[in-house]
Amino acid sequence: MSTKDVMIWRYNRAGTHYVADTVVMEEPLEIRIRFKDNAEKWVERPLSITMRTPGDDPELAIGFLFTEGMLRPEQLDKVTMGLENTVTVHVKPDTNPELEKMQRNFYATSSCGVCGKSSLDALGYTYGNLHFAEELPPLSPELITSLPQALTDRQTIFDETGGIHAAGLFDWEANLILAAEDVGRHNAVDKIAGKALRNQQASLDRHILVLSGRACFELLHKALALNIPVVVAVGAPSSLAIETAERFGQTLIGFTREGRFNVYSGMNRIHSSHLSKI
């Protein structure tokens, strides 16, 4: 269940009323991994606990392991749900998951993950398989401004609660391929990643990731791990998100609302027939 009904006191100009309201669910999920150790014995180890909205839990776990570089698609065997909000990712016998990547140091944290301009090099992300599709037709401004509403139209939980993040994967023609909602914006993107991997989605190097809120480093990092060349956010980007997009040649668009947007990096992918500098 993704929502819950609660009783609240609602105040407006007509007075105060005791009424029912619907809120988004937030519960902890423990992500575990099962693999063969150096002694050829099967072991199961907890990796992370995340606060999430229930739903698409297997996809969330798979996407998290993939975007954090601990698991490649061909290494996945299966995913099982346990009791008490746990999910276990089973890897194939010949797989050695890179668990040391869970030990990376976060110098400063916020609701958007890592921040602080000097931390990018220290985090050590390399994206060795990064390759965006070339010679794609430029995206029109009309197409870009249509994306947030197309995502909103699929936000069923937001319609009920008004309090949840969303992420959507679009192809180059603005067709919505995958969508996910979660109380955590990082979880929404991980759910997209997990869905793409479970569906054996082809390379995402010709796709667009749309975010219902702001764009922070962690979300750009996950998009790069998925080989997505364009990120479109309804809200503002952080300084480290901009630096990351510039460094890796990714297009980053923010404040996409009411027929307008800002391009912070990768203007080469945007149709610029009416471009002018002030």
Residue 260, annotated as binding a ligand: yes
Residue 256, annotated as binding a ligand: yes
CA distance 67 to 61: 10
CA distance 189 to 180: 7
Residue 185, annotated as binding a ligand: no
CB-side neighbour CA atoms (13 Å) of 194? 22
| Token digits of residue 95 | 């797989």
Residue 45, annotated as binding a ligand: no
Instruction: Return the ∠ at Cα 141 (arms to 136 and 142), rounded to 5°.
Output: 105
**Of residues 79, 112, 178, 270, which has the active-site annotation?**
112
Measure the CA dihedral 226/112/61/68, to 10°.
50
Query: Phi and psi for 242 in degrees, rounded to 5?
Result: -65, -45
Concerning whether 115 is annotated as a catalytic residue, the answer is: no
Amino acid in the structure at residue 124? G
Distances from the Cα of 102 to the Cα of 26, 115, 253, angstroms = 23, 18, 29
Query: Phi and psi for 123 in degrees, rounded to 5?
Result: -70, -25
Q: List the beta strands (DSSP E) in 83-164.
A: 86-91, 109-110, 113-114
Residue 75 · residue 91 · CB < 8 Å: yes
Residue 255, annotated as binding a ligand: yes
> Could you identify the residue written with the tokens 């301009």?
117
CA distance 73 to 153: 30
Q: Which residues pair with 17 in a beta bridge?
A: 10
State the catalytic residues. Answer: 112
**Binding-site residues from annotation:** 255-260
